Copies of this chain bind each other. A is one copy, B any other.
Amino acid sequence: MHISQMLEQSRRKNKSTFSFEFFPPKTAQGVQNLYDRMDRMHSFGPTFIDITWGAGGRMAHLTSEMVKVAQSVYGLETCMHLTCTDMEKSKIDEALKDAYKAGCTNILALRGDPPREKEKWEATAGGFRYAKDLVKYIRDTYGNHFDIGVAGYSEGCEDQDDHELLLEHLKEKVDAGATFIVTQMFYDVDIFLDWVDKVRARGVTIPIIPGIMPIHTHAAFMRRATWTKCNIPTAWTKALEPIKNDDAQVREVGKTLIAEMCRRLLEAGILHLHFYTMNLAQTTRMVLEELDLMPDMSSPIDKPLPWRPSLGLNRREENVRPIFWRNRNRSYVARTQDWDEFPNGRWGDARSPAFGELDAYGVGLKGTNEQNIKLWGSPTSVKDIANLFVRYMSGKLDSLPWSEAPISKEAESLQTDLINLNTRGFLTINSQPAVDGIKSSDPVLGWGPHNGYVYQKAYLEVFVSPEYIAEVITRIERDPDMTYYAVNKAGDLKTNAPGDGPNAVTWGVFPGKEIVQPTIVETVSFLAWKDEFFRLGQDWANCYSSVSPSRYVVEDLMDTWYLVNIVHNDFHVPHGIFPLFDGLEVEDMAKPLHSTRVVNGDEKSSINGAAAHTNGVNGQELKN
């Protein structure tokens, strides 16, 4: 959606809103950390985010990449900065095309700073000289596809102090087709409001968004003020100078000053605040909390769907996904990014599209070996691994190889059952409780439009040792309300699902609408997830040296255990799946596996063969 349109919506509701600006980090690890932070900051409820333009080859590409990830994976409405610096027309074209393909519909068009090695800005041969040229070019080329923002220099800019001339330039940029203005950072509200009046006096009516720079440290505060030549009110100097060596105190006092400034802006009718986050969450969050603009977590921001919808170009209508990637959203978006169409309304509409190969999208385990070993230790037995799962389910561990984020609020109602099951050596990968029609406004489980009801079938994905796989399947098949898929690394699949069709496990009923069914369980996608699951396990094993007991035990699980997903189709039974495992506990869990390991391909590696090892359950009884 266009930024000007979103601002107009908030204006009609007289609602204060805000946005965050990020820049491309220099290292790959920095990018990964920033993605995680952007994901967390999504929950603050920004209207949109900005990604600044990384001038130069690799950094330019990184901006495009980040815009795409923010739009597609994190569902953040993103504004891409684009500068004239060092950009011939072909590069501008490429950047715009990438933004278009990413589903981005907002561009901030800037002249840009001179490159580091030069003192004065010079136009690139075959490029654009002024921001207004770039605005005009984007407008001419893409019509109204992009909302186009331009910079407002309320206190002058680096190489231009003539304020009247700057106002004239701003007017020219607006006349060339700009639809909103973002100002440089400032601390003096009077100067800003005075400038706004001057802009309006020139007949410019488009929204003006003030740029807010939270105070991280005193040194940074001073450096940026000097660099942007912006005025520091005396009261600010008086408040900050005495405590300048105490970073914590600077942040605290700075928060109060910035918040006070924001309050004055809001009172003056400036309803949107743009935060220069400097890729940091803390100081921005402090200001938002002080302004009481952080969303109330007991009635969270609107969730149109139970998972984060993508804003990628072709994905805006997407509203059905398999449940398997719930804890690996990014990987799902990556592996499906080349689909021509995305399921909308029903999974069936997608006509069995293929999932991208694992290697093509780099969806393996994150982090270095050292980081992962530090995180998950060096297990030498099933019990060690089960303990990791128990710690994760208890909220004491933030991730597992298959779950990128801490355990969700939704899983809280199942926590006791999950801990109990993992303690007994059944490793739970994914789960959801049954929900028999709860209001769509429920703070934890709700999603979708108002006055609706949402439903879930109980779901459990569990990694089962070969000694119990046959018994578990036998028990499932005895219950006409349960459907399951079980598969091992080799791909031996067993299921009692009726036909190939998907099973809707989350759905919602809303006034005046068709039934929405955003989460499903289905064969083809489960097999794609299975590849990813075993690959992540192998990646984990590979963190340990090839002769270590940890490598051995993790690999052994990957080679011989079964990934099983189970749906309890009667959603009136909240904890319906757990009784399946009553009385089952993996034997000798504490025993180091090294010596007892069996080679792949023996009788344990087929689902039916496994039955011979279990408590009297005869493999013959299993239906195929």
Binding site for B on A (CB under 8 A): 345-349, 436-437, 449-451, 455, 480-481, 483, 497-499, 501-504, 507, 509-515, 517, 520, 567, 569-572
Contact = CB atoms under 8 A, between A and B. Distances in A.
Contact of A480 (B437, B481, B501, B511): B511
Contacts of A572: 437
15 contacts: A346-B514, A347-B514, A450-B480, A451-B569, A451-B570, A455-B509, A481-B511, A501-B513, A503-B512, A504-B513, A504-B514, A511-B567, A511-B569, A512-B569, A515-B515
A483 B511 contact: yes
Nearest to A499: B512
A260 B408 CA distance: 68
A316 to B, nearest CB: 15
Given A349-B345, A451-B480, A569-B451, A514 B511 contact: no
A230 B27 CA distance: 95
A510 B569 contact: yes
A572 B452 CA distance: 11
B498 A503 contact: no
Nearest to A498: B512
A349 B347 contact: no
A554 to B, nearest CB: 33
Contacts of A483: 511-512
Contacts of A504: 509, 513-515
Contacts of A499: 512
Nearest to A345: B346
B509 A514 contact: no
Contacts of A517: 514-515
A509 B520 CA distance: 13
Nearest to A570: B451
Given A347-B514, A498-B512, A503-B513, 16 more contacts: A345-B345, A436-B437, A437-B437, A437-B572, A451-B480, A480-B511, A483-B512, A497-B512, A499-B512, A504-B515, A507-B509, A507-B515, A512-B569, A514-B517, A514-B520, A515-B517
A417 B449 CA distance: 31
A509 B503 CA distance: 10
Contacts of A436: 437
Contacts of A567: 511-512
A514 B510 contact: no
A514 B569 contact: no
